[in-house]
C-alpha cells in the first residue's frame, strides 16, 4: 500500500465516523422532540407540531396522515336576568350616592327652618337635578309638610315628591321588536365617544339574549378600529353575530349590512353602534341621518338610544341637545351612575329632551346595565 492509498483510506474512515455522529445527533434531537409531544389524549391543537416525527416516517408520495382538528366549542356566557340587575341598581346607588342620605339627614332635624331648606336646595342642585325641578321639589315638600303637618312622614313625602319629579308616567319600554311582518326591531345607539356607547351596546345585547331574543350587532363605528374589535368581543361572549367593515368604511353601509343580515337570518333585534364624533352639528346630522335613511330602506328604526355619561353634568346636557337635533332620540341611557353623586341628571336630561331615561349603566361589568324604573331609582337614592 503506497502513501496515497493510505491517506485516502484514513480520510474515508474519518468522514464515516463524523457523518455517523451528526446523523446520531439529528436523530437524538428529533427523538427528544418526539418525546415532548402532547399525549394522544391532549386536545391542545395549537402546540401540535406539523412535521412528522422520526418514529412515524412519512411514506414517499403518500399524503401525511393528519388528525382533523376539532374546533373548540365557544364558551357562551349566560347573562344575568333583568330582576337581579334591579337589585344591583339598588346596591350600587345606595352605596355611592350621597344625595339621598344627605336629604334624609336634613329632613330628620327637629326644626325645618330656612337654613335647612336652603341646604336641601343646595344638595339637589349639587346632584345636577337642575334649578327649576329643585324649586318644584322644595316647594312641593314644604307645602305638604305645612298642610299635612304631623300626619305625614317627611321621608315618605320626600320619596313621593322625588318619584313625581322623575315622572313615573313616561313610557320606558324599549322598542326592540319590529312590526308584525317578522322584521327585526332596530336599535340605533348614538352619543359622543367615551360615554360608554360600545359598552352599552354589548350590555344591551346581553339583556336581550338573557330574554331569549336573537340579536345581530352592527359595528358602524368605523372611525375607530378598536370599537369594532371591542364589539366583536362582546358579541362572541354571548354568541351574537357582529357585522363589521374595514376601518374607515361608510358607517351607513355597515348599518345596512347589519340590518340585511338581521332580516335574512330572522333575528328579533339588530343593534347598531355608531361613531359619535361631534365635529360639528352639520356633519353629525349628515352622518346619523344617512345611517338612519339607509337602514330604513329595509325596515324602520324602532328605537334611537342616546348614551350620556352621568358624570359630565351640564356638558352632557349640551351634547344631548345637539344629538336630539340631529336625530329623533326616543330613549336615554345614562351611564356611569355608579360612584356618581349626580343622580339628579336623570331629571334634568328628561326635562331637557322630553325623552325618558330607559336604561342606566352601573359599572364596567358585563351585566352592569339595568332598566330604569323611577320607584327603584328613588328607593336606591334614598338607600
Ligand atoms: N363606571 C362605569 N364605566 C362605564 C360604564 N359604561 C361604560 N363605562 C366605561 O367607559 C369607557 C368608555 O366606554 P366605551 O363603550 O368604549 O365608549 P364609547 O362611547 O363607545 O366610545 P367609542 O368606542 O370611542 O365610540 C370604558 O372604559 C367603559 O368600561 C358605566 O356604566 N360605569
Judged against a pLDDT cut of 50, whether residue 40 lies above it is answered with no
Point out the ligand 1 atom lying closest to the alpha carbon of residue 361: 31
Point out the ligand 1 atom lying closest to the alpha carbon of residue 203: 6
- Least confident range of 211-215, 235-239, 321-325: 321-325
Mean pLDDT value of segment 145-169: 88
- Helix, coil or strand: residue 330: coil
User: pLDDT above 70 covers what percent of the chain?
Assistant: 76
Phi and psi at 308, nearest 5°, equal -125, 145
100 a known binding residue? no
pLDDT digits over 313-347, tens only? 888 888 889 888 889 999 999 999 886 767 788 89
28 a known binding residue? no
Judged against a pLDDT cut of 90, whether residue 175 lies above it is answered with yes
Cell of 175: 322598542
Those residues whose C-beta lies under 8 Å from the C-beta of residue 339, and which sit 6 or more positions away, are: 96
Ligand 1 mean position to 85 CA, how many Å? Answer: 18
Measured by CA distance, the residue closest to atom 1 of ligand 1 is 363
Those residues whose C-beta lies under 8 Å from the C-beta of residue 381, and which sit 6 or more positions away, are: 93, 94, 97, 99, 100, 162, 343
- Helix, coil or strand: residue 306: strand
pLDDT of residue 182: 86
pLDDT of residue 215: 97
Judged against a pLDDT cut of 70, whether residue 8 lies above it is answered with no
Instruction: State pTM to two decimals.
Output: 0.78
Judged against a pLDDT cut of 50, whether residue 160 lies above it is answered with yes
pLDDT band at 59 (very low <50, low <70, confident <90, very high): very low
pLDDT digits over 132-147, tens only? 999 999 999 999 888 8
Ligand 1 mean position to 364 CA, how many Å? Answer: 7
* Alpha-carbon gap, residue 282 to 290, rounded angstroms: 12
214 a known binding residue? no
pLDDT band at 293 (very low <50, low <70, confident <90, very high): very high
159 a known binding residue? no
pLDDT of residue 18: 42
From the list 56, 79, 74, the residue with the least C-alpha distance to 66 is: 56
Ligand 1 mean position to 312 CA, how many Å? Answer: 13
pLDDT band at 378 (very low <50, low <70, confident <90, very high): confident
Point out the ligand 1 atom lying closest to the alpha carbon of residue 226: 23
Cell of 88: 344591583
Judged against a pLDDT cut of 80, whether residue 298 lies above it is answered with yes
Residue bearing the bigger pLDDT, 219 or 249: 219
Q: Is 212 left (phi over 0), alpha (psi -120 to 50) or beta?
A: left
Phi and psi at 273, nearest 5°, equal -85, 135
* Alpha-carbon gap, residue 207 to 100, rounded angstroms: 28
Ligand 1 mean position to 32 CA, how many Å? Answer: 50
Residue bearing the bigger pLDDT, 73 or 202: 202
Residue bearing the bigger pLDDT, 11 or 181: 181
Q: How far is CA 99 from CA 211, 272, 313, 371, in A?
A: 33, 35, 15, 21
pLDDT band at 200 (very low <50, low <70, confident <90, very high): very high
pLDDT digits over 99-138, tens only? 778 888 888 877 788 999 999 999 888 888 889 999 999 9
244 a known binding residue? no
* Alpha-carbon gap, residue 371 to 131, rounded angstroms: 26
Ligand 1 mean position to 74 CA, how many Å? Answer: 25
Mean pLDDT value of segment 151-165: 89
Judged against a pLDDT cut of 80, whether residue 236 lies above it is answered with yes
Judged against a pLDDT cut of 70, whether residue 16 lies above it is answered with no
124 a known binding residue? no
Could you state, in order of their start, the residue ranges of all structural domains in the chain? 88-166, 185-374
**Which fold does the domain 88-166 belong to in CATH?**
1.20.120
- Least confident range of 82-91, 137-146, 177-186, 265-274: 82-91
Tabulate helix, strand, coil % of the chain (nearest 5).
Answer: 50, 10, 35
Q: How far apart are the first and last CA of the chain?
A: 109
What's the gap between Cα 138 and its chain centre? 37
* Alpha-carbon gap, residue 253 to 303, rounded angstroms: 19
Per CATH, the number for 185-374 is 3.40.50.300
pLDDT of residue 124: 87
Q: How far is CA 322 from CA 190, 284, 310, 312, 331, in A?
A: 11, 9, 17, 15, 15
Q: With a cut of 0.90, is the ipTM above it?
A: yes
User: pLDDT above 90 covers what percent of the chain?
Assistant: 41
Task: Please give all residues whose beta carbon lies within 6 A of any atom in ligand 1, as ranges.
Answer: 191, 193-199, 221, 224, 227, 276, 335-336, 338, 361-364, 368
pLDDT of residue 6: 52
What is the overall mean pLDDT for the chain?
79
Phi and psi at 372, nearest 5°, equal -95, 125
Measured by CA distance, the residue closest to atom 26 of ligand 1 is 196
Point out the ligand 1 atom lying closest to the alpha carbon of residue 273: 20
Point out the ligand 1 atom lying closest to the alpha carbon of residue 195: 19
Amino acid at each position: 500500500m503506497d502513501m496515497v492509498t493510505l491517506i485516502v483510506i484514513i480520510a474515508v474512515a474519518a468522514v464515516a465516523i463524523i457523518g455517523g455522529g451528526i446523523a446520531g445527533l439529528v436523530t437524538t434531537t428529533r427523538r427528544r422532540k418526539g418525546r415532548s409531544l402532547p399525549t394522544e389524549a391532549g386536545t391542545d391543537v395549537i402546540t401540535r407540531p406539523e412535521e412528522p416525527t422520526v418514529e412515524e416516517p412519512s411514506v414517499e408520495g403518500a399524503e401525511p396522515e393528519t388528525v382533523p382538528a376539532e374546533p373548540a366549542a365557544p364558551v357562551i356566557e349566560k347573562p344575568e336576568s333583568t330582576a337581579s340587575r334591579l337589585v344591583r341598581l339598588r346596591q350600587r346607588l345606595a352605596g355611592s350616592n350621597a344625595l339621598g342620605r344627605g336629604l334624609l339627614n336634613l329632613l330628620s332635624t327637629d326644626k325645618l327652618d330656612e337654613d335647612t331648606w336652603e341646604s336641601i336646595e343646595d344638595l339637589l342642585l349639587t346632584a345636577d337635578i337642575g334649578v327649576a325641578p329643585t324649586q318644584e321639589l322644595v316647594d312641593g315638600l314644604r307645602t305638604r309638610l305645612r298642610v299635612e303637618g304631623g300626619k305625614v312622614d317627611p321621608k315618605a313625602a320626600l320619596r313621593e315628591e322625588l318619584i313625581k319629579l322623575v315622572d313615573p308616567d313616561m313610557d320606558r319600554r324599549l322598542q326592540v321588536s319590529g312590526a308584525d311582518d317578522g322584521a327585526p326591531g332596530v336599535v340605533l345607539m348614538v352619543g359622543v365617544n367615551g360615554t360608554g356607547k360600545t359598552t352599552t351596546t354589548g350590555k344591551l345585547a346581553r339583556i336581550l339574549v338573557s330574554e331569549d331574543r336573537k340579536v345581530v350587532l352592527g359595528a358602524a363605528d368605523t372611525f375607530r378600529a378598536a370599537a369594532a374589535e371591542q364589539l366583536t368581543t362582546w358579541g362572541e361572549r354571548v354568541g351574537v353575530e357582529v357585522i363589521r367593515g374595514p376601518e374607515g368604511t361608510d358607517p351607513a353601509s355597515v348599518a345596512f349590512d347589519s340590518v340585511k343580515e338581521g332580516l335574512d337570518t330572522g333575528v328579533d333585534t339588530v343593534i347598531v353602534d355608531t361613531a359619535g364624533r361631534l365635529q360639528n352639528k352639520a356633519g353629525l346630522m349628515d352622518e346619523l341621518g344617512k345611517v338612519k335613511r339607509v337602514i330604513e330602506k329595509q325596515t324602520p328604526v324602532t328605537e334611537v338610544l342616546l348614551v350620556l355619561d352621568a358624570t359630565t353634568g351640564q356638558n352632557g346636557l349640551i351634547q344631548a341637545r345637539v344629538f336630539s337635533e340631529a336625530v329623533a332620540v326616543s330613549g336615554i341611557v345614562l351611564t356611569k351612575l355608579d360612584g356618581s353623586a349626580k343622580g339628579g341628571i336623570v331629571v334634568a336630561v328628561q326635562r331637557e329632551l322630553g325623552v325618558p331615561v330607559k336604561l342606566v349603566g352601573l359599572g364596567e361589568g358585563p351585566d352592569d346595565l339595568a332598566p330604569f324604573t323611577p320607584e327603584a331609582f328613588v328607593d336606591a337614592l334614598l338607600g
